[in-house]
Chains A and B, each alone.
Chain A
């Protein structure tokens, strides 16, 4: 048995799938590609599949990680080709490798956020340079007020033709922030902001040393 990890992208039409949808899609794609993944024991066996960081619906990503176990001791030469042919439009596997560390070692995650509409990029940059930018954040235990900047390790904001492009580096694990809160914060604190449409793309996941997290 091999303990493996996939690196894959979610783009275009596939971004509308939920986290659970994606798991089911992989299960069936493995079956279609005739890749022998390990199943759990028990009355209702299902393949052991685990996605490192759930991706919110309508987000794209170029750095998704899926853990699974392979029944055989070697990975076929055509593994990536076979799997990609079995996946629906918008999910593309880039590489497969043996996994060593657990996904809990991911500490940072970066996103590109493209906002269309009226947005003052200088005011946005200034806003996140200070501390104590409070917003209401929802979590499993209810809503509470938090300082957004506690979650932000880096942020840049550039003007674009239709609005602004933000690149953010956020903490994850014990302290996770959905990047939608960045836009909410801007809407709350930067006057005259009028954002019509936002698209999100997860760009990289990092370990504590800020190295891209892979195996």
Chain B
């Protein structure tokens, strides 16, 4: 059946499965069928490390067969709907409607409509309350569960925090439940007893007259606060020894090893830097073994040493020493993403021969020291210019710099600072380049700041759409510098992201409305329909600016108040106050800030 349609769609390899390393089990040999769903296209989902870990983990359980499922591109969706082809698992091509569990990983706010669309394509009601005992359990995890409320009506249960242990506990529970033939509500009740599991239907949200949250009240035995799950022994956490190797080009297609989880820097805008606390690292020997095993089993030609800030990994030199000769013999390169301008090592980059291949990218985030102090990005102009000078002296002739606009307390002077910094990088090139004939390319990318839950800036107003657009055109006028390319993201996208990030349960209706109007793939420029969204918010009588552009009171109850990521509200507020005063805070290695996250380790120490 499918083979009749695949030749008619773009990139049919997205839908066909059969890749090296994909897991096929006998249907009769397993008790639970799981569809691991990534609500974006194959090329994006297959680049995601978390999915690789959990796919392999689920399939390591003999009684589980976990398959992959991605959002079909609209051309495929049309064919599926016309011909009544339900959403299927890539491995078996069976309809996921008949599976026991449909598990979504939620990486960004703009995929929410895709979740609804995938449920619908599977033949499932989109709302949790409309799915009966015959439907698979719909679960979700990932970074966006810091505030799961906008999609609380659609998901049966959320896994908060790190999934490697709780996923197994959930599977055990589901297996048991299936043997006892229990109802969905009983299954959810039992699941709610697991640490880190949040069953939204067991909580009632009341609102104040002004639209803010009054209270979130659990029913029955449900926990008042759901604390995220965390891996205390990170060196020994489950890690796959093979990946599915796509047979077609995807975005990130390489061996990835996770050198550490968490980050010692307390950049105040950064959600990952706060919600993955505290920092835990793996031993260099562990990582070298995992990298080699994965490279042998996948045949990849690149190994990426992944983390939020890889140049902060304490054993980086040891790890590279362990890998470099082994890799060179096999024509495998080593990539170091996420390096900081204040401690990156050109010597290391040259040893890896990584410089010319991948290019140099730094993220100063703001144009002036004042604003960098506000956001606690502890990088000075001198750090950046030094890093660039070293790179240019090493023969390098292109550099990318990432900034944010719309940061709290930002003025036009800060924006001009971005242009000034670009100019200074250009001067640095003129002074230090050894190959002037080739010219230089300086790329300045700016994203619009989106205040995120779980960060010190969760109280902050996002700049209005008009203000973001004004700032962008202001920057365009300042950025007419030779050799400098200036890019910026669509402000409308950031605005919607701002609404979703701090949204409450009332937003669920808007998401459903937008999806019914045909909204899909908001993260893709060619499909993003801001006017549709505005109509839907108006129809639901909700104000987008209420969610995105409102400064919150100090003691406002947030929609995500019952979700605890380990960093105390007091710490976040202290950091907010320091930001407003322009005071920096030291990183975790220099001095513990007592943020609270170490308590999650049950008396253990973090690896700062």
Interface residues of A (CB under 8 A from B): 12-14, 16-18, 20-21, 24-25, 27-32, 34, 39, 43-47, 57-58, 86-90, 197, 199
- Give bound CA distance, A29 to B297, whole Å: 10
Q: Which residue of B is nearest A197, CB measured?
A: B4
Shortest CB–CB separation between residue B41 and chain A, in angstroms? 15
Minimum CB–CB distance for A61 against chain B, Å: 15
Residues from 272 to 302 in B contacting A, C-beta threshold 8 Å = 295-301
A58 x B6 contact (CB < 8 A): yes
Contact digits for B210-247, partner A, Cβ 8 Å, 1 yes 0 no: 00000000000000000000000000000000000101
Q: Which 9 A-B pairs have the closest CB atoms?
A: A28-B299, A31-B299, A13-B18, A89-B18, A32-B299, A16-B12, A58-B7, A88-B20, A16-B13
Residues of A within 8 A of B330 (CB): 31
Given the complex, which residues of B lie within 8 Å of A20, measured CB to CB?
A: 249
CA A27 to CA B254, docked complex, whole Å: 13
* With A43-B356, A86-B299: A13-B17 Cβ-Cβ less than 8 Å: yes
User: Measured between C-beta atoms, what is the minimum distance from B574 to chain A in Å?
Assistant: 49
- List B residues 24-59 near A (Cβ within 8 Å): none
Nearest chain A residue, comparing its CB with the CB of B9 = A16
Indicate the member of B17, B245, B297, B299 with the most A CB atoms within 10 Å.
B299
Q: A13-B17, A88-B20 are in contact. Are A57 and B331 (CB under 8 A)?
A: no
Asked if B248 CB lies within 8 Å of chain A CBs, one says: yes
| 6 new A-B contacts at CB < 8 Å, known A21-B248, A25-B20, A88-B20 | A16-B248, A24-B249, A28-B298, A46-B331, A86-B20, A89-B18
Say yes or no: A45-B331 contact (C-beta < 8 A), given A27-B301, A31-B299, A58-B7.
Answer: yes
Q: Please judge, given known A-B contacts A24-B249, A28-B245, A45-B331, whether A17 and B13 are in contact too, CB under 8 Å.
A: yes
The answer on a CB contact under 8 Å between B20 and A16 is no
Which of B19, B245, B357 sits near A44, CB closer than 8 Å?
A: B357
- B465 contacts partner chain A, Cβ-Cβ < 8 Å: no
Q: Does any Cβ of A come within 8 Å of B557's Cβ?
A: no
A88-B12 in contact given A16-B6, A18-B248, A29-B299 (Cβ < 8 Å): no
Give Cα A31–Cα B254 distance, bound, in whole angstroms.
13
- Asked whether, in the complex, the Cβ of B12 is within 8 Å of the Cβ of A29, the reply is no
B residues bordering A, Cβ < 8 Å? 3-4, 6-7, 12-13, 16-20, 245, 247-249, 295-301, 330-331, 353, 356-357
- A88 adjacent to B247 (CB under 8 Å): yes
Distance in angstroms between the alpha carbons of A149 and B357 in the assembled complex: 48
By a CB distance below 8 angstroms, the chain A residues around B353 are 43
Contact A88 B19 (CB under 8 A): yes
Chain B min CB distance to A115 (Å): 13
A198's closest neighbor in chain B, by CB?
A: B7
Give the Cβ gap from B299 to chain A, nearest Cβ, in Å. Answer: 3
- Closest B residue to A90 by CB, please name it: B18
- Report B-chain residues with C-beta under 8 Å of the C-beta of A32: 20, 296-299
Bound: A28/B301 CA distance, A: 8
**How far apart are A157's CB and chain B's nearest CB, in angstroms?**
21
Cβ of A13 and Cβ of B16 under 8 Å apart? yes
Residue of B nearest to A116 (CB): B4
**In whole angstroms, how far apart are the Cα atoms of A34 and B17 in the complex?**
24
Contact of A21 among B20, B249, B296, B299 (CB under 8 A): B249
Nearest neighbor of B242 in chain A, beta-carbon distance: A32
Q: Is the CB of A57 within 8 A of B356?
A: no
Bound CA span A141–B315, Å: 56
What separation, in Å, do the CA atoms of A16 and B14 have in the docked complex? 9
- 28 CB contacts below 8 A, A to B, read A13-B18, A14-B18, A16-B6, A16-B16, A17-B247, A17-B248, A18-B13, A21-B247, A27-B301, A28-B245, A28-B298, A31-B295, A31-B300, A31-B330, A32-B297, A32-B298, A32-B299, A34-B296, A45-B331, A47-B331, A58-B7, A86-B20, A86-B299, A88-B18, A88-B19, A88-B20, A89-B18, A197-B4
Minimum CB distance partner of A88 in chain B: B20
Determine how close the nearest CB of chain A comes to the CB of B462; give it in whole angstroms: 41
Within the complex, what minimum Cβ distance (angstroms) separates B331 from chain A?
Answer: 6
CB distance from B218 to the nearest CB of A (A): 47
Contact between chains at A25 and B297 (CB < 8 Å) = no
Q: Which residues of A contact B4 (CB under 8 A)?
A: 197
Given A17-B13, A17-B247, A28-B245; A12-B18 close (CB under 8 Å)? yes
Name the residue on A nearest B14 (C-beta): A16
Q: Is the CB–CB distance between B247 and A25 below 8 Å?
A: yes
Residue with the highest number of chain B CB atoms closer than 10 Å, among A13, A86, A197: A13
User: Are B249 and A29 interface neighbours, CB within 8 A?
Assistant: no
Complex Cα–Cα for A15 and B19 (A): 12
A24 to B330, CA, bound (A): 16
Kindly name the residue among A29, A86, A87, A89 whose own CB sees the greatest number of chain B CB atoms within 10 A: A89
Q: Whole-angstrom distance from the CB of A36 to the nearest CB of chain B? A: 10
- B18 proximity list for chain A (CB < 8 A): 12-14, 88-90
A29 touching B247, Cβ below 8 Å = no
Whether the pair B16, A87 counts as a contact (CB closer than 8 A) is no
Query: Which chain B residues lie closer than 8 Å to A57 at the CB level?
Result: 12
Asked if B247 contacts A14 (CB within 8 A), the reply is yes
Which residue of B has the minimal Cβ distance to A40?
B331
CB closest chain-A residue, reference B248? A21
Q: How far is the CA of A89 from the CA of B331 in the complex (A)?
A: 26
**What is the CB-to-nearest-CB distance from B283 to chain A, in angstroms, rounded to a whole number?**
26
- Among A44, A87, A197, A199, the residue within 8 A (CB) of B20 is A87
| Shortest CB distance A181–B (Å) | 16
Cβ of A136 to closest chain B Cβ, rounded Å:
21
A137 to B342, CA, bound (A): 58
Contact between chains at A28 and B12 (CB < 8 Å):
no
B12 pairs with A58, CB closer than 8 A: yes
A28 cross-chain contacts in B, Cβ below 8 A: 20, 245, 298-301
A21 near B331: Cβ-Cβ < 8 Å? no
Say how far B256's CB is from chain A's closest CB, in angstroms.
15
> In the assembled complex, how far is the CB of residue A33 from the closest CB belonging to chain B, in whole angstroms?
8
Shortest Cβ distance from A31 into B: residue: B299
Contacts of A25 in B (CB 8 A): 20, 247
